[in-house]
Amino acid sequence: MVTDLGLSKSLLTELFPQPQNAEEWLQYALSEEKVRQFKERGYLHKVSLLNERQLEALRDQLAEMVDPEHEGREFFYEYHSNESESVDQVLFHALGAWRVRPAFHDILWNPAFRMAAYQLLGSGFRLFHDQLFSKPAKHGSVVAWHQDYSYWTWTTPMAHLTCWMGLDDADTENGCMYYVPDSHRWGLLEKTGLAGDMDAVREVLTPEQVSDFDNKIPVEVKAGEAAFHHPLMMHGSYENCSDRQRRATLINVFADGVVSNRENDGTNAPGADNYPRVPKGAQMGGEYYPLLLDSDETFGGFTESIPTVNDV
Ligand SMILES: O=C(O)CCC(=O)C(=O)O
């Protein structure tokens, strides 16, 4: 019998020990300078979140899920794969792994992630969904330039955050992400698709925004490091020209209190219609949108000394 891990009420592994006191929490806190950089530029990268043991468990369990016949596949919200023969040749994008394998369930409660996300959102938050992106070596696929929130208007208000975690070193050779710094101030643009034409978004940009692309930066990270970005940050990733894989896992969260804005006629529904539904106007919550950090969290009593986006 395959179990839906999303229904589990506790951690399933020993991979992510939870802090027992203020000192253990504070080791994860981002400096004021880093929080300010995120607020001003819309992103922060090279944040260390995963150790070798955690990486190994995540990579092993990702390899199992890449097989389209794996147990638990029915719990994914979306599952896109080129279904190639060999595991390291599969181009893979899927949402919902937290319900399918224990390391991807427990990573949501990684204290290093929860502390940083609290600081960058400035409030308690819930899981929206997770994502896996795996690009094989020498693979020509891209993730076209986009803003995450253009896919998420079925939830409102916009109070969302993306955490992208490298399971391999990611660099310009193997198809790392790129950001356009400050683009989180552009407002919400029309969505123009994720696959195919990398530059499709240019059709909906002003000439000034097009020239801002000259300032784009590669989001190079080591395995175990994360990049956080604002829901309006313009980002995408180019082909993998190297002989190395480029695997990543993401956590997407929103502030506790975000409500469903999902139209009954499906006009703003997510890609595949397999996401747990919340009626329009009702608060996003319940077992499939678990509270990852309570707004009352005191971090062992030191909340005031932890800088958030509300303070900088
Ligand atoms: O991993 C990638 O290549 C793309 C990631 C992405 O689009 C995202 O973080 O929203």
Atom 1, ligand 1: residue with shortest CA distance: 133
In the predicted structure, residue 197 carries a pLDDT above the cut 90: no
In the predicted structure, residue 303 carries a pLDDT above the cut 90: no
Can you tell me whether residue 7 is helix, strand or coil?
Answer: helix
Phi and psi at residue 5, to the nearest 5°: -65, -15
**237 CA distance to ligand 1 centroid (A)?**
7
What's the pLDDT at 83? 73
Question: Is there an atom of ligand 1 within 6 Å of 174 CB?
Answer: no
Q: For the domain that residue 291 is a member of, what is the CATH number? A: 2.60.120.620
Which atom of ligand 1 is nearest the CA belonging to 250?
9
How much of the chain exceeds pLDDT 70, in percent? 99
Contact between 232 and 184 (Cβ < 8 Å): yes
Probe target for ligand 1 pocket from 92, 133, 145, with the most ligand atoms within 8 Å of CB: 133
34 domain-assigned: yes
The C-alpha atoms of residue 95 and residue 81 are separated, in whole angstroms, by 12
85 domain-assigned: yes
Q: How far is CA 245 from CA 45, 59, 77, 137, 141, in A?
A: 20, 11, 24, 5, 12
Mean pLDDT of 237-247: 96
Question: Is there an atom of ligand 1 within 6 Å of 164 CB?
Answer: yes
Probe target for ligand 1 pocket from 128, 165, 177, with the most ligand atoms within 8 Å of CB: 177
Probe target for ligand 1 pocket from 80, 141, 164, 229, with the most ligand atoms within 8 Å of CB: 164
Question: Is there an atom of ligand 1 within 6 Å of 162 CB?
Answer: yes
Q: How far is CA 176 from CA 28, 118, 161, 237, in A?
A: 25, 25, 19, 6
Mean pLDDT of 255-261: 98
The C-alpha atoms of residue 124 and residue 214 are separated, in whole angstroms, by 36
In the predicted structure, residue 89 carries a pLDDT above the cut 90: no
User: Nearest to residue 123, comparing CAs of 253, 24, 23, 286?
Assistant: 253
Mean pLDDT, the chain, whole residue set: 94
**241 CA distance to ligand 1 centroid (A)?**
17
Atom 9, ligand 1: residue with shortest CA distance: 164
Question: Is there an atom of ligand 1 within 6 Å of 248 CB?
Answer: yes
5 domain-assigned: no
Mean pLDDT of 120-134: 97
CA angle at 188 for the pair 183 and 191, rounded to the nearest 5°: 105
Number of domains in the chain: 1
Which atom of ligand 1 is nearest the CA belonging to 237?
3
Query: Can you state the percent helix, strand and coil of the chain, rounding each to 5?
Result: 25, 25, 50
Tokens describing residue 42: 């819309």
307 domain-assigned: no
Q: Please give the residue range of the domain that contains residue 166.
A: 29-297
pTM for the whole thing?
Answer: 0.97
44 domain-assigned: yes
